[in-house]
Amino acid sequence: DAGVIQSPRHEVTEMGQEVTLRCKPISGHNSLFWYRQTMMRGLELLIYFNNNVPIDDSGMPEDRFSAKMPNASFSTLKIQPSEPRDSAVYFCASKRGFNSPLHFGNGTRLTVT
Amino acid sequence: LAKTTQPISMDSYEGQEVNITCSHNNIATNDYITWYQQFPSQGPRFIIQGYKTKVTNEVASLFIPADRKSSTLSLPRVSLSDTAVYYCLVGDGDSGAGSYQLTFGKGTKLSVIP
């Protein structure tokens, strides 16, 4: 089992640029979550999908953030335009269903200068 | 949404048993209690999950009293490699609305001292 795969591992970009983070969940998992982690705010849930359908995006900070899950094996989180305050580690996680644990990827460390 | 409260930090010497307690006063009937461990530069990793009474696996034990308003993660004989942040997560039960209540709290930073 390859686990949850995120890319890129690190991303450095300038303010105003578009950033796309990618996630491949574990095969057979039907729920996918995007989290953001900073020292100040800890782990924040941004959005999650069940069976490729977005269920709750109330954690998405602004309209600059968008997420898609075109199929069961791929999801993207896009920030356009990016700002320095978006700098954080972004984690993707997947799970099989209710009462099963989350499996996290190793995250993407985003730095916006 | 069940809110959790944990100590911000704890210190322990190698070889000792560590108990980290999490309070979750408004836990819902269908909610499970799950603990995760996070090392720097890594995503959180599942440790143990329970609903009531006691659960034990090869890594830890989880004690849940009858009222389920708190839970205690027990790590036997900790080593330096157990230094990490530990999160208590409450939710994930079938709320009937198809939604998860999977919000992390601040976690407990455990430092193991040689």
Rounded (10°) CA dihedral A21, A30, A49, A26: -10
Helix, strand or coil, per DSSP, at residue A20: strand
Q: pLDDT averaged over consecutive 10-residue blocks of chain A (113 residues)?
A: 92 97 96 94 92 90 94 97 97 89 95 98
Residue B64, pLDDT score = 97
Q: Give residue B61's pLDDT band: very low, low, confident or very high (50, 70, 90).
A: very high
**What distance lies between CA B106 and its chain's CA centroid?**
11
Q: How far is B111 from chain A (nearest CA, A)?
A: 18
Identify the residue whose tokens are 């976690």. B107
Residue A98: DSSP 8-state: T
Q: How far is B89 from chain A (nearest CA, A)?
A: 10
Residue B98, pLDDT score = 44
How far is the CA of B46 from the CAs of A10, A94, A100, B38, B60, in angstroms?
Answer: 24, 12, 10, 9, 11
- What residues in chain A have their Cβ under 8 A from chain B's Cβ atoms? 4, 31, 33, 35, 42-43, 45, 48, 50, 55-56, 91, 93, 98-107
Identify the residue whose tokens are 């356009």. A80
How far is the CA of A16 from the CAs of A35, A82, A113, B44, B114, in angstroms?
Answer: 22, 5, 9, 30, 47
Measured between beta carbons, the chain A residues lying within 8 angstroms of B102 are 33, 45, 48, 102
pLDDT in tens, B8-39: 999 999 999 999 999 998 888 888 899 999 99
Test A107 with B43 for CB contact under 8 angstroms.
yes
Across the interface, of B98, B105, B107, the residue whose CB is closest to A50 is B98
Residue B11 contacts by C-beta under 8 Å, 6 or more apart in sequence? B110, B111, B112, B113
DSSP states of A44-79: EEEEEEETTEEEE-TT--STTEEEEEEETTEEEEEE
